[in-house]
Amino acid sequence: MALLYKDDWEEAKTRYRAWWAGECIGRCAMAVTAIRDGAPSSLRPSEPDDPEVKWTDLDYWARLNAWRHERTFFGGEAFPIWSCGYPGRENLAAFLGCPVRLDRHTAWLDPILTGPELDIGGLDIAPDNRWWRFTLRALEFAAKESRGRAIPSIGAFGASGDTLASLRGTERLLYDIVERPEQVRVAERHIMDLWIRVYESFYAAVGGPSEGSTCWFGLWSPGRTYAIQNDFASAGCAVSGREGDLCGW
């Protein structure tokens, strides 16, 4: 599959496959982006004033992706990634019912598990959840709009620790880890099961056009891939004041 904005995409995929297999590709793997020579002088699409419109107007994101990609040189293993941004409305905690407050640059999720105990046994994704339905629609839109031009991102929907921090609140979860660690472990396993279900649904939407997958991290795989992350762990270390307490949890 050739890409409009990456004329050596077939070669790059060959190098990615070799890299994943631990084989030599003749040089260090690298990704370089820069303004393309002769880039169009068109103005960046106007950003909607209303934050909710900005993060939900798929036509705006189609224009913005096209503007970004047509102006960019993708060297080495760099490639154009089509996305609708990652403000947090596609977060697993949002799918589980956390209220989402969007602003122009990010989103804030309000905790819903505010009781004395950490019990998420009955927590699941409601089929009619607004952000779940929107994200599925956005991924289908991305798969269609990016075909032949770029690789659609599977998204950035949070790790188990980050999801628990959103559901519970970072400070409460820090206390939970100390006071009720077994409940935290049970909750983490439940969240991980949900995470896998979400990933498989998203992969079904974009895996075909991607011939594999990519996420917010600019790395392509011929199969399933997702960047390992846990922002809560590093935040927890900073909050606790004891380096290493929570890192890697």
- Residue spans per domain, the chain: 9-240
Q: Render pLDDT for 166-192 as a digit per residue (tens, 0 to 9).
A: 999 999 999 999 999 999 999 999 999
pLDDT for res 121: 80
pLDDT for res 230: 82
Return the structure tokens found at 97: 């019912």
Q: Render pLDDT for 211-225 as a digit per residue (tens, 0 to 9).
A: 999 998 889 999 999
How far apart (Å, rounded) are the C-alpha atoms in residues 29 and 195? 30
Mean pLDDT, residues 154-161: 91
In this predicted structure, the answer to whether residue 236 has a pLDDT above a threshold of 80 is: no
In this predicted structure, the answer to whether residue 243 has a pLDDT above a threshold of 60 is: no
Coil/strand/helix, residue 19: helix
Burial grade of 49 (CB within 10 A; 0-12, 13-18, 19 or more)? exposed
In this predicted structure, the answer to whether residue 196 has a pLDDT above a threshold of 90 is: yes
The secondary structure of 182-220 as a DSSP string is: HHHHHHHHHHHHHHHHHHHHHHHHHHHHHTSB--SSS--
Return the structure tokens found at 215: 């996420």
Please report which confidence band the pLDDT of residue 237 belongs to, taking 50, 70 and 90 as the band edges: very low
Q: Render pLDDT for 1-33 as a digit per residue (tens, 0 to 9).
A: 789 999 999 999 999 999 999 998 889 899 999
pLDDT for res 235: 54
Mean pLDDT, residues 118-127: 90
Q: Which of 74-83, 126-135, 143-152, 238-247 has the lowest mean pLDDT?
A: 238-247
Contact 69, 150 (CB under 8 A): yes
Mean pLDDT, residues 97-107: 94
Please report which confidence band the pLDDT of residue 245 belongs to, taking 50, 70 and 90 as the band edges: very low
In this predicted structure, the answer to whether residue 34 has a pLDDT above a threshold of 60 is: yes
Please report which confidence band the pLDDT of residue 238 belongs to, taking 50, 70 and 90 as the band edges: very low
Angle value at C-alpha 125, between 180 and 51, nearest 5 degrees? 100
Burial grade of 22 (CB within 10 A; 0-12, 13-18, 19 or more)? exposed
Mean pLDDT, residues 93-103: 96
Mean pLDDT, residues 80-106: 94
Q: Render pLDDT for 69-92 as a digit per residue (tens, 0 to 9).
A: 999 999 999 999 999 999 989 999
